[in-house]
Amino acid sequence: MRKKIYVHVADDHKILIEGIIAVINTDKDIEINDYSLTGKEVIDWFDKKGNKADVLILDITMPILDGFEVLKHFNKNNIKQNVIILSSYDDIKIVQEMLSLGCKGYITKNNAGEHIVNAIKAVAKGEQYFSNDIQSILLKSFAGQHVPNGDAPDNFLKETLTERELEVLKLISKQYNSPEIADKLSLGISTVDSHRKNLLRKLKVKNSVGLAIYAVKNKII
């Protein structure tokens, strides 16, 4: 008898967890350890002594703490944990961000059923695993980096935003105007406008609409 693979599932929709359990139960080598409904529950579970799982299935969008924060917490506390991201997002930037945060697998919810068992077994053995669509966009982005020019394209050279700028960007994306942002952050209006100017310049966009779209696409809000 082979050693069982113990799995922890984290998603804010319980019915989806039930679905994953149903699919996984068709395989005798895998067993669900426990589950979490928020990122904070995940962190608390793994912080508790004696709790460990061979594989963590992790959704990105969860209340309280999201998937990004969970992985950052693992890295900060030097916790080695095999993680498979189960997400509805197939955006290259998100996939790359998750990979840089150390996830071992990434499958989309669209075709999770056919991939989840194989993904768990691969990641439990220390391999990587990506569903077809993710493989596809990863290959494309890989090919896209070898542009004939040799120089990195502009969008790879984004200037990093400061903490204050990020705060202002978040509030802009929530449809607050400068006086309101100044009030919320206890700043002068002219200060907020200075941050606006720097944001427009750094992110190479034309107006607040460009800032908001950047924020949405980069999951800043």
Partner DNA sequence: AGGCTTCTCCCCATTTATGGGGAGAAGAAA
Partner DNA sequence: TTTCTTCTCCCCATAAATGGGGAGAAGCCT
Interface region with a second copy, contact rule CB under 8 A, candidates 20-28, 39-47, 132-140, 159-167 = 20-28
Please say which residue, 57 or 168, places its beta carbon nearer to DNA. 168
The answer to whether 133 contacts a second copy (rule: CB under 8 A) is no
In DSSP notation, 129-161 reads EE-HHHHHHHHHHHHHHS-TT-SPPGGGSPPPP
Instruction: Give which of a second copy, DNA, none residue 188 binds (C-beta under 5 to 8 Å, depending on kind).
Output: DNA
Using the rule CB under 8 A, which residue among 58, 60, 172, 192 binds a second copy? 172
Q: Which is nearer to DNA, 62 or 192 (CB)?
A: 192
Least distance in angstroms from the C-beta of 166 to a second copy: 16
**Considering the rule CB under 8 A, would residue 217 count as an interface residue with a second copy?**
yes
Please identify, using beta-carbon distances, which residue of 74 and 106 lies nearer to a second copy.
106
Q: Which is nearer to a second copy, 53 or 112 (CB)?
A: 112
Q: Whole-number minimum distance, CB 3 to a second copy, in Å?
A: 26
Residue 109 binds to a second copy (criterion: CB under 8 A): yes
Residue 42: contacted member of a second copy, DNA, none (CB under 5 to 8 Å, by partner type): none
Partner whose binding site includes residue 165, from DNA, a second copy, none (CB under 5 to 8 Å by kind): DNA
The gap between the terminal CA atoms of the chain, to the nearest Å, is 47
Q: CA separation (Å) from 103 to 11, 56, 70, 125, 189?
A: 16, 10, 11, 14, 41
Q: If you ran DSSP here, which 8-state letter would residue 50 be given?
A: T
Q: Are 95 and 138 in contact (CB under 8 A)?
A: yes
**CB-based contacts of 21-30 (< 8 A; 24+ apart in sequence):** 23/112, 23/113, 23/116, 23/117, 24/116, 24/117, 24/120, 26/117, 27/117, 29/2, 29/4, 29/5, 29/121, 30/4, 30/5, 30/117, 30/120, 30/121
- Contacting residues toward a second copy, per CB under 8 A: 12-23, 86, 88, 109-113, 116, 172-173, 175, 177, 205-213, 216-217
